[in-house]
Structure 1
Amino acid sequence: MLEVRLSHSLGALSLDVAFEAPRGVTVLFGRSGSGKTTIVNAVAGLLRPESGRIAVGERVLCDTAQRLHLPPHRRRLGYIFQEGRLFPHLSVRQNLRYGQWFAPKGARPEDMARVVEMLGIGDLLARRPGALSGGEKSRVAIGRALLSAPRAILADEPLASLDEARKAEILPYLERLRDEVDIPILYVSHSASEVARLATTVVALEAGHVVAQGRAEEVLGDPAITPLGAREAGAVLAARVVRHHADGLTELDAGGAALWLPRVDRPEGADLRVRIAAHDVIVARGRPEGLSALNILPGRVQTLREGSGPGALLAVDTQAGRVLARITGRAAAALDLGPGAEVHMVIKAVAVAQADIGTAR
């Protein structure tokens, strides 16, 4: 468990946060300037907070009350930067061995062969960083961090500099890292899709303060918590692959409800997490007929949150889980929507992007 309690002023930012990051991926989620990188730098020892305490298990890294501030090299944390920051004059194998060399004596080391296999970098070992793609560099950087035998891993928007194709390439490896490595991973992101796919825990930040923390499904499914604004709101459903059909569609079981998506590249029986963007959902009072949309989920309105403009965010509990819909206040009034109202949530199959579908832990 990584425990963080910090207070710090940096320019216009007044940071005051407290949270815990258990095993798995804890995502610091919020707009630019909300304090995400400042927190990670404080945990890494690159920034000395004005007050606070940081600990990994029983190992205290920083405690201002005791005037304790371990330097970065003594914290045993793996840091994955946006750019990878590999040594250009060393091969991939040598970069990985540098991580092993940095591991302290007596620490239980990660097996090189296991890390190489997990990250799919076996055919890259003889190359130098200049001959690697962005996604390949990121995977090597993750491997180097793992081989240093860290107590925790810090990842500061590691996919931010990659295009969509490279992000799609590396996300499955990050999911596997989440599921197979027995240490906390503190991950910075302002991408709703990344959060939905990777997070076991979400810490939502606004202006240097924690506005919510908990399981990804709970935090992302709360219409009152929109760190990136209502336009990026969306809920996460747990589902299982039932079968792949000849017409190119995959049938999922989401809490007993059928959910149809364009072919999902996962085997039958695989557990998934599916993000449904609120702006891709249509709300109907009665069950609609004669529609091209394949996914129609009946449910009951849990909350309706109206914004300062013409929009409103609706949270509906369905058999498949909580679904959010972004509608206008005028539509909400016309349909007489409010807590307890029975509705049908309409979701176009093709509206769900492959980037919003991930493997469940």
Structure 2
Amino acid sequence: MIEFELDLKRGNFQLQASLNSEASVIGLFGPSGSGKSTLLSLLTGSLQPQHGRILVDGRCLLDTARRINIPVHQRRIGMVYQEGRLFPHLNVRHNLSYGLQLLKPAQRRFKLDDIVALLELGPLLEQRPRQLSGGEQQRVALGRALLAAPQLLLLDEPMAALDDRLKAQILPFLRRIKDETGVPMLYVSHALHEILTLTQHIAVMQAGRLLAHGDAYEVLGTEHVLPLTQSLGLENLLKLQLLPSPQESGCSVALCGQQQVVLPWVDAVAGCEVAVVIPASSIALAKQRIEGISIQNQLHGTIRAIRTHDQRALLSIDVGAELLVEITEKSRQDMDLQCGDSVCCLFKTQAIRLLGHQRKA
């Protein structure tokens, strides 16, 4: 769906990035200053490379060798930034319809009413941006970008300015866009769990280089990317099914495969899907279940892969879902852990962060 080879030099910074992917959603992951936003500017055409080419769904947007350079306004690339960047003098309805009015009827892909329904914007249509919360502004920005009928939607850390509560509100809408519109997306974030909410396909950047792309758990274990994982903060995203739980206990219980996980209290009915985040470094390993311990969660699993770097060991463990666990290499050696071994993954309920929930269809 997207293919590019780009070479840009500006002062002391050089970007050299190449990617060819059929994934409908790609998560662009990397530390601050690695060139993620610069890459998006090259894709939109607001920044010009010295050399390169860009194809989206087979349509050539840029080819410096053939002197092809489609102008920004004709590239049909939607862009959503950290801030909504809405027109302050227009209400929500007119912000949404701005891009729609610039298209000929034959070019329009979505109807205003459909996007309003998709993003639940009906009660906000007559309000001005200053009357909206940060999460509401981002939903309007998403709607405006979709109504411009993009061939590709670029999202540059769209939740970086939101707190966890608002992030939990926005993530389900991003999943809806992915599932219901079919618009390819390139989602930029330095928060891995946000990316994994949308896609397992990631591309990792560092210092202007695109180091690797593909399945997230395979990419994170490659020798070029593994040194980055400590500074980036590896997190697991698990989608669990909520079980009936008494509120007076102060905790909820959910299923991960066939095993139970004790969560902070979730105000939702049984059967809902709950998305949770668990840092890889917050999980301890034991060779068997431990009795007489306050840690509530002890999931049995099988080690599927082990990668090591700089006295750190990153283990991929199948517990009914894939779980990344980060321990010291000394611990791994002392326990003589090998691929195929059965282990118990231990983590506190307090280590779990809730992202939100939705009723299962």
| 1:137-195: CA deviation from partner (whole Å, max 9, x where unpaired) | 11111111111111111111111222333222222211221221111111111112212
In terms of mean alpha carbon deviation, does 266-275 or 327-336 score higher? 266-275
Partner of 1:289: 291
Q: C-alpha distance in 2, partners of 1:118/1:228? A: 37
Query: Could you say what the CA RMSD is over the residues aligned between the two structures, in angstroms?
Result: 2.8
Quick one: which amino acid aligns to residue 70 of structure 1? I
Segments of structure 2 that go 5 or more residues without pairing to the other structure are: none
**Post-superposition CA distance 1:222-252 (Å, at most 9, x none):** 7973475326123444x45152322441321
Corresponding letter in the other structure for 1:135: G
Change (3 A) 1:221 1:104: farther
* 1:49 matched residue in structure 2: 49
- Which residue does 1:253 correspond to in 2? 256
Mapped to 1, the partners of 2:313 and 2:51 lie a distance apart of 38
Shift of 1:281: 0.4
Is the contact made by 2:272 and 2:357 (CA closer than 8 Å) also made in structure 1? no
Q: How does 1:1-361 map to 2 (within 5 A)?
A: 1-22=1-22, 24-219=24-219, 225-226=225-226, 229-230=229-230, 232-237=233-238, 239-241=239-241, 243-246=243-246, 247=249, 248-254=251-257, 256-264=258-266, 268-269=270-271, 274-308=276-310, 311-355=311-355
Provide the C-alpha distance between the structure 2 equivalents of 1:327 and 1:196, rounded to a whole number of angstroms. Answer: 22
Answer with 119-128 or 346-355: which moved more: 346-355
Q: Structure 2 CA distance, aligned partners of 1:216 and 1:266?
A: 30
Percent of aligned pairs sharing the same letter:
38
Relative distance call for 1:266 and 1:5 in structure 2 (3 A) is farther
Q: 1:356 to 1:64 in 2, by over 3 A?
A: farther
Deviation at 1:358, TM superposition (A): 8.5
Q: Aligned letter for 1:276?
A: I
Deviations 1:70-109 (A, max 9, x none): 1100101111122211111111111111121123452133
The 3-state SS of whatever aligns with 2:187 is strand
- Specify whether residues 107 and 58 from structure 1 end up closer, same or farther in structure 2 by C-alpha distance, changes over 3 A only: same
Paired amino acid for 1:298: H
- Report the more deviating stretch, 213-222 or 322-331: 213-222
Quick one: which amino acid aligns to residue 348 of structure 2?
K
- State the shift of 1:307 in Å: 3.8
- Hey, what's the Cα distance between the residues in 1 that align with 2:190 and 2:177? 20
Q: TM-score, normalised by structure 1?
A: 0.88
Shift of 1:112: 1.0
Q: In the TM superposition, what is the alpha-carbon distance from 1:56 to its structure 2 partner?
A: 1.4
Contact map agreement 2:241 2:256 (CA 8 A) in 1: yes
Partner letter of residue 66 of structure 1?
A: R
